[in-house]
Every structure is written in structure tokens, then in C-alpha cells.
Structure 1
Amino acid sequence: MAEQSERRLFGRQRRANSETPRDAGRYVVKTNAEEDAQLRARAIVAGVTVPRFLVEAGMNANVETSTEQKQTIAELFALSRTLGTVANNVNQLARYANTEGRFPAEAESVVAEYRRLSARIDETIRKLAGA
């Protein structure tokens, strides 16, 4: 008898009953045949029903969706373009310094912007890598 209740506790497919009613939202998700097969297979491997699998996956804070990845990649491209602009400014400052024999005061702000952009690029790459 203890083995049966243990199996039921850890092998349960349904979610445990909730003290508060689950009437806040009901979602209809339409999939094609291939998506349905993949969802069912992943749910079977996880030992849960498809609805429970979807809820657990959706509530997991560590899951990054492809939409979030696309946004992060778009941000990386935007940062790359901005860094190109900063690099152009650095080239202009270097040309000025070589021609005039002195370094302009504006160079400090360009270096600060370069450092800020470099930090943002590093942070974005870490987001993409999942670290």
C-alpha cells in the first residue's frame, strides 16, 4: 500500500488540487500535427499531461523563448551599429590628434561611451549564452 501511494505522489500526472479555484484563465492552444507530436512526446518523457507540461514550462523563469532570443539578437545588432559609430568617432579623434599634435577634450566622453557599449555588448552576449 505504501508503494502505491509513493508512486502516486511522485508519478502523478494531474496537478495537485489547489486551495484557491483555478478559474482565472483558460487557454486554447492550436498546434499543427508536428507540434502536437512534439508536445505529446515531451510530456510523456516528463511523465505529465500536455496541459501540465505547458503550465510548468510557461511558469519556469529559466526558460527563454525564441522571441526573447530574437529580441536579444536584435539588440546585439543595434549595439554593433552603435559601436561602429563610436569607432568612427575614435578614428576622427586619432586623425585630429595626429594632425594637431594634441588630444581633444571630447575624447574622454567617446572613451566613456565605448566602455559603456562594451559592457552592454558583454551583457547581451551573456544573455544569449544563457549565463
Structure 2
Amino acid sequence: MSDELPGGRLFSRRRRANVTGGRQHFHKVKVTPEEEAVLLRLSQAQRVTIPRLLVESALAVETSETPTERRNAMAELYTLHRLLAAISNNVNQMAKAANATGTLPAELTATLRAVCSTAERIDDAIDGLASS
């Protein structure tokens, strides 16, 4: 699987979105070389700029996750959903082959139920993330 997030600016934007009237305030922060290394590592891991990382981290008072972490979690869920769709396609091909031979393996039915159940759980998780 690719490490890239799903397409579209929703999942790939490094900088924060523009706001009407612009941002009127700015803050300058001095850090040690060690702190810079940590900030750089964290910003690269989350695929955001250091200023965005600092703002999101500071403003994430009520939850333990930043908007970027939430976005990355949603992207991972979308990736899992696509994976399940591919698995379902493969299972469908197995069913088609089984239909041609006249025998349907017992595991196929259980696998289909598991795929559907997992896909529904992922959809519910995505809906929960999007609405909170």
C-alpha cells in the first residue's frame, strides 16, 4: 500500500486554510536545535508545517488529538474501506468461480459477512469522526 493519503486537498494540505481578513496576529517562538529537531520530525510525520503543528497542538485543549491527527485517522479509515472493497471484489470472483463449478465453499459466506460487518463499522467510525 502507498503511504500517500487519499487524493484531494482535504487530505494533503500542509498549511492552514485562509481566513477572511487574514490572520491579524503572529507569534515568534525561539527553540533549541533539539526542540527544532523534534518539531521537524512531528511536522513531517503529520505532513504539516511547523507553525500549523504548533497552533493545532496548542489549541487542542479539549481533546488529545489535533485536527491533523483526526484527518490522518479519517484518511486511514478511507484506505481500509477501499481495501475491504477490493477484498469483496476478490470474494465475488471466488463466488463466480464457485457458481461455475456448482459448489460454494462454506468459508465464502462467513467471509462475506465479515467484510460487510467490517465495512459498516468503518463507515460508522468515519461518520462519527466527521460529525464530532
Larger radius of gyration: 1
Larger relative contact order (CA 8 Å, sep ≥ 6): 2
For Structure 1 versus Structure 2, the TM-score category normalised by the shorter chain is 0.3 to 0.5
Q: What's the TM-score once normalised by structure 2's chain length?
A: 0.46
Question: What TM-score results when the alignment is normalised by the length of structure 1?
Answer: 0.46
